[in-house]
Amino acid sequence: MNNARVIISTHNTLAALGLKKLLSEVFSTDVLVVDESFFNVLSTTTEPHLFFVDQDTLVARLPFFLPRKAKTVLLLPSDQSIEDFRTINITLTESQLINEFNSLLEAHHNKDKESTALSSREAEVLRLIASGKTNKEIAQELNISINTVLTHRKNMTAKLGIKSVSGLSFYAMMNGII
Amino acid sequence: MALINRDSKLCDIILHDPSTITVLDRFGIALGVGDLNVEEACQEHGINVEFFTTILNTFINENYFPQYTMAQFSANEIVDYLIKTNNHYQQNVLSNIERHFSFLIAKAPSHNNNLVIMKQFFDEMKSELLQRIDDDNNRWFPEICRNEKAISQIAEAVTVEEPTDTIEDKIDDLINMLVVHMKGDYDHNLGYAVLVAVFSLKKDIKQNNRIRNRILRPFSNALMPSNE
Average pLDDT on B121-136 reads 95
Q: State residue A109's pLDDT score.
A: 61
Q: Which residues of B touch A174 (CB under 8 A)?
A: 113-114, 117-118, 177, 181
Backbone angles phi, psi at B183, to 5 degrees: -155, 175
CATH code where residue A145 lies: 1.10.10.10
> Is residue B218 scored above 90 in pLDDT?
no
- Among A33-42, B29-38, B74-83, B120-129, the minimum mean pLDDT is found in A33-42
Closest residue, chain A, to B172 (C-alpha): A162
Same domain, A74 and A155: no
Is pLDDT larger for residue B65 or for residue B117? B117
Last residue of a domain, one of A63, A90, A112: A112
Q: State residue B48's pLDDT score.
A: 92
pTM: 0.66
Q: State residue B20's pLDDT score.
A: 93
Instruction: Report the C-alpha gap between A24 and A16 in whole angstroms.
Output: 12
Continuous H helices in chain B: 10-16, 20-26, 38-45, 49-60, 75-88, 94-106, 113-135, 141-146, 148-153, 166-181, 188-210, 217-223
Chain mean position to CA B9 = 22
Instruction: Report the C-alpha gap between B138 and B154 in whole angstroms.
Output: 24
CATH code where residue A23 lies: 3.40.50.2300
Same domain, A131 and A69: no
Q: Give CB contacts under 8 A, 24+ apart, made by B61-64.
A: B61/B3, B62/B206, B62/B210, B64/B3
Q: Which residues of B touch A164 (CB under 8 A)?
A: 166, 169-170, 173
Chain mean position to CA A103 = 6
Number of domains into which chain A is organized: 2
Is pLDDT larger for residue B160 or for residue A118? A118
Is pLDDT larger for residue B163 or for residue B62? B62
A 10 A CB-CB count for A110 gives 15
Residue range of the domain that includes A10: 6-112
Residues 6+ apart with CB under 8 A from A18: none
Contact B173 A163 (CB under 8 A): yes
Residue A1 belongs to some domain of the structure: no
- Mark which residues 86-125 of A lie under 8 Å from B by CB: 116
Q: State residue B144's pLDDT score.
A: 85
Q: Which residues of chain A have pLDDT under 50?
A: 1-2, 44, 112-114
Q: Which residues of B touch A3 (CB under 8 A)?
A: 183
Last residue of a domain, one of A75, A94, A112: A112
For chain B, give every domain's residue range.
10-60, 75-223
Q: State residue A1's pLDDT score.
A: 37
Residue A65 belongs to some domain of the structure: yes
Instruction: Report the C-alpha gap between A2 and A16 in whole angstroms.
Output: 19
Q: State residue B70's pLDDT score.
A: 55
Is pLDDT larger for residue B154 or for residue B141? B141
Instruction: Report the C-alpha gap between A121 and A118 in whole angstroms.
Output: 8
Q: Give CB contacts under 8 A, 24+ apart, made by B102-106.
A: B103/B187, B103/B190, B103/B193, B104/B186, B104/B187, B104/B190, B104/B191, B104/B193, B104/B194
Residue A133 belongs to some domain of the structure: yes
Same domain, A149 and A107: no
Contact B170 A164 (CB under 8 A): yes
Residue A137 belongs to some domain of the structure: yes
Q: State residue A134's pLDDT score.
A: 92
Instruction: Report the C-alpha gap between B213 and B215 in whole angstroms.
Output: 6
Picking from B113, B170, B179, the nearest residue to A166 by CB comes out as B170
| Distances in whole angstroms, Cα of residue B116 to Cα of each of A35, B186, B203 | 35, 11, 24
Same domain, A32 and A62: yes
Residue A98 belongs to some domain of the structure: yes
Q: State residue B227's pLDDT score.
A: 45
- Is A142 within 8 Å of A124 (Cβ atoms)? yes
Is pLDDT larger for residue A32 or for residue B199? B199
Contact A166 B177 (CB under 8 A): no
Same domain, A96 and A141: no
Q: State residue A64's pLDDT score.
A: 83
Instruction: Report the C-alpha gap between A60 and A35 in whole angstroms.
Output: 12
Q: State residue A96's pLDDT score.
A: 84
Average pLDDT on B212-216 reads 81
Residue A32 belongs to some domain of the structure: yes
- Is B5 within 8 Å of B38 (Cβ atoms)? yes
Smallest CA-to-CA distance from B144 within B209, B82, B61 is with B82
